[in-house]
Each structure stands twice: as structure tokens, then as C-alpha cells.
A = this chain, B = another copy of it.
Amino acid sequence: MSNVNKVVLAYSGGLDTSVILKWLEDTYNCEVVTFTADIGQGEEVEPAREKAKAMGVKEIYIEDLREEFARDYVFPMFRANTIYEGEYLLGTSIARPLIAKRLVEIANETGADAIAHGATGKGNDQVRFELGAYALKPDVKVIAPWREWDLLSREKLMAYAKEHDIPVDFAKAGKKSPYSMDANSLHISYEGGILEDPWAEPEEDMWRWTVSPEQAPDTPTYIELTYQKGDVVAIDGKKVTPGQVMEQLNKIGGDNGIGRADIVENRYVGMKSRGAYETPGGTILLKAHRAIESLTLDREVAHLKDELMPRYAELIYNGYWWSPEREMLQEMIDASQQTVNGKVRLKLYKGNVIVVGRQSDSDSLFDESIATFEDDAGAYDQKDAEGFIKLNALRLRIAARRRR
């Protein structure tokens, strides 16, 4: 084992990271700093303090990062209408760079020379944590116990916990969900269990944040989102922070059966995997943002954004948030959002997000006087179209004549 003096651990207080905590101390003979963050996963983080204390940890970081997460990660990503492989709203991917950044910052504050995480060696999350950490602190040592140890089953973990007197709620740990889950303000995800058969439909009781469309109310809910520079700043006319946007839209979306996705996706490490996701607020945001852009964005800007979006999504999915190419694309995306101001009115009904109106007093490029089917009083000269078509056709005509 290489020399490690102090390691910052992304710590949830659950079975896995509690075992890791102990294992790190024993294996590396090092001090452990714990870091526990509220990023909207919907579980209390404060209990992690007592558990860490009970295990002898001296430096304990517990933080509420919900606003930062929404403002600096989720919102910038939605400015690009980001979606991976046509279906996935990147709920897990977008949280990792923030965790990586805080791990590194805490390592710098506490003089730690390593960080550790509880992600497995098969998934994307290890890549996202580690690329972020290396980009921000290039000589950091990263410890990924799942790639090193042989505690590869729940039973072994529990035996290890018992053997080492690790304070774990064994009753709760024993009844664990059959799914591997991850949650934050943007989404909750499910993998494993019966989902490993892509032909099997998820069971209704798996879902936690949304009712099914069938169980959603029989009457629609209307909401109005106000945008400034591509971000939601008010809901139904009431000013809200980014964190509140996520919270309120998750609630209203979940209540209306919105935001379930069930997909097979391509992991960066080379395999296909099946995942189920609930992203109620994000599903609303994607639809609404496209709607306000449809009114306020130039055509060619919108098309260029659409062409670059899959690349941008791939970067985030693969863990390259803290890369110069992501930052370079972000400059362009953010520059495009200066005029994305206005309001979108939405109807939410049993899984559907329906745009029913969009408006921008300051920046609408929709010109009724030109677009109208009625008399336009000369705003548009229909005769221009002939020349437009003729010159666009010229290369096709020359080629067609040549072919004869």
C-alpha cells in the first residue's frame, strides 16, 4: 500500500461507507475525514455525525449543498437541453462533479493526501469522481475500496461490520431494497434486481418519487415558469431559488405521475446497463426550456445547440464536467442564453407535460405581422421566395443536368 496519511471519505452513514471507513483505517493505517452532503437525496444527513463520531472520526464535514447543486450544476446543464441517448436526464452524472470538488477542497483544508469513495469498479460513478478529483488536485491519491477488497457481497460486508463493531442498523441494512439506488434533487435512480432483464417491466412498488400516471389526479394542474437568461426564476409568478425550483417541481411533477424513465444505456466503461429513473422536476424543466427557447432563440443558434448537445451530454455522462472542453462548450451555451427570457405555461396531467403557452415581452422573435396567414401589409414579399429557392436549387440543377 502506498503511503496515505489522511483520507477524505464520501460518507453516507450507511453500511457500505461505514465499512469503508473502518477498512481504510485498518488497511492504510490512516486518519479518515468524513464528508456527508445534502444534495436533495431526501434523507437526513445529520445522523451521519453521530455515527462518524462513534467511529472515532475527528474531522466531520456535513453540508447542505442543495442550492449550489441546483444553481451551478443542474441549471447550467439544462440550458443546453441536455439529454443522454435521447432519454436520460443525467441525474446521477451531474451530482458527481460537485462531490468530487468538495472532497478535494476538504482534502486541501485538512491536509489530506487522499480521497475515497464507495462506487464500484463497473460503473460510471468511479470515473466521474476520479476524473473530477484528478482535474482539480492532480496528485491526489484516490482509493476505491470496491476495486481493491474482497468484500464483494452484502453478507461479507455485514460480517465485517459485526466483526469490527461498526455501528450499523442491521435490521435496516438486512432489509435493503433489491435495487441499487441513487438520489439527489434532480432524480432518483434504480439499477439491479429484476431490472437486469431488459424485457421485464419494473414493479410498481419500486418507484418512490412519483405516483403512476394511473394514480395521478384526474384533473390537470397548470403552472407558469418565468425564465431569466435560460434559468427558471419564478413559479406561478413567485420568485424562487434554484434549490426551490427543484423541490417544488419535483413535488408537483411527482404528484402528476411525471418523469419516469426506463432505459438501456451505454456506460462509459463499455457495457450496456438497464436503469429506471424518476426525474419529475427535470422532465418539466426540459420541456419548458425548449419552449421558451423556441420563442427567443435564433434558428441557427438553436440548431447549433442541438447538434452539440449530444457531445455535451456525453461529456457530463462520462465524468468530464471539470474538463476544458466542457467549460468551453459551456461558454458558448451560456452566451446563447442572454435572450432566453419570458414565461412558459404548462399543463401537467397524468405523466404528460404539455406546453400551452410561451411569451416573451422583451425577446420574442416570433413576429406575428410576418408569420400571419392573413394579409401582412407587405411585411414579407412572397416574390423573394422564388429567388431564394432558385439559388438554393442551383447546385442540384447543375448536378442533375450533368447526370443526364
Query: Which residues of chain A have a CB within 8 Å of any CB of chain B?
Result: 81, 85-87, 120-122, 126-127, 130-131, 134-139, 144, 146-147, 152-153, 180, 191-193, 196-202, 213-214, 218, 220, 260, 262-266, 269-274, 290-291, 294-295, 298-304, 306-307, 310-311, 314, 320, 322-325, 327-329, 331-332, 335-336, 345, 347, 349-352, 354-359, 363-368, 370-373, 375, 380-402
User: Is A385's CB under 8 angstroms from B386's CB?
Assistant: no
Integer count of this chain's copies in the complex: 4
User: Contact check: which of B294, B325, B356 meets A301 at CB < 8 Å?
Assistant: B325
User: Is A198's CB under 8 angstroms from B383's CB?
Assistant: no
What is the bound-complex CA distance between A16 and B143, given in angstroms? 37
User: Is A335's CB under 8 angstroms from B331's CB?
Assistant: yes
Q: Which residues of B contact A269 (CB under 8 A)?
A: 385, 388, 391, 394
Known contacts A198-B357, A356-B201; decide if A144 and B386 are in contact (CB<8 Å).
Answer: yes
User: Contact check: which of B220, B264, B365 meets A402 at CB < 8 Å?
Assistant: B365
Scoring A191, A392, A394 by chain B CB atoms within 10 A of each residue's CB, the highest score goes to A392
CB distance from A16 to the nearest CB of B (A): 13
Q: Which residues of B contact A137 (CB under 8 A)?
A: 400
Across the A-B interface, the 8 shortest Cβ-Cβ residue pairs: A387-B387, A121-B382, A270-B394, A266-B299, A384-B387, A138-B397, A134-B393, A138-B400
What is the bound-complex CA distance between A144 and B294, given in angstroms? 30
What is the bound-complex CA distance between A271 and B396, given in angstroms? 10
19 contacts between A and B (CB under 8 A): A120-B382, A121-B382, A122-B370, A130-B389, A134-B396, A138-B397, A138-B398, A153-B375, A196-B373, A198-B357, A199-B357, A201-B347, A201-B356, A269-B394, A270-B299, A306-B310, A350-B352, A365-B395, A370-B398
Q: Which residues of B contact A311 (CB under 8 A)?
A: 304, 307
User: Is B332's CB under 8 angstroms from A336's CB?
Assistant: no
Residue of B nearest to A266 (CB): B299
Q: Which residues of B contact A81 (CB under 8 A)?
A: 86
User: Is A192's CB under 8 angstroms from B270's CB?
Assistant: no
Q: A197-B368, A269-B388, A270-B299 are in contact. List 11 more A-B contacts (CB 8 A).
A: A122-B380, A196-B372, A202-B356, A263-B291, A299-B395, A300-B320, A324-B336, A349-B350, A383-B387, A385-B391, A387-B390
User: Is A298's CB under 8 angstroms from B325's CB?
Assistant: yes
CB distance from A84 to the nearest CB of B (A): 9
What is the bound-complex CA distance between A139 and B390, given in angstroms? 11
User: Is A323's CB under 8 angstroms from B306's CB?
Assistant: no
Q: Which residues of B contact A299 (CB under 8 A)?
A: 266, 270, 272, 395
Q: Which residues of B contact A198 (CB under 8 A)?
A: 295, 357-359, 364, 366
User: Is A352's CB under 8 angstroms from B355's CB?
Assistant: no
Known contacts A329-B332, A389-B127; decide if A135 and B307 are in contact (CB<8 Å).
Answer: no
What is the bound-complex CA distance between A262 and B264, given in angstroms? 29
What is the bound-complex CA distance between A389 and B271, given in angstroms? 14
User: Is B389's CB under 8 angstroms from A386's CB?
Assistant: no
User: Is B200's CB under 8 angstroms from A375's CB?
Assistant: no
Q: Which residues of B contact A363 (CB under 8 A)?
A: 402
User: Is B85's CB under 8 angstroms from A373's CB?
Assistant: no
User: Is B387's CB under 8 angstroms from A135's CB?
Assistant: no
User: Is B136's CB under 8 angstroms from A270's CB?
Assistant: no
Q: Which residues of B contact A372 (CB under 8 A)?
A: 192, 196
User: Is A304's CB under 8 angstroms from B328's CB?
Assistant: yes
Known contacts A134-B396, A388-B392, A400-B136; decide if A298 and B274 are in contact (CB<8 Å).
Answer: no
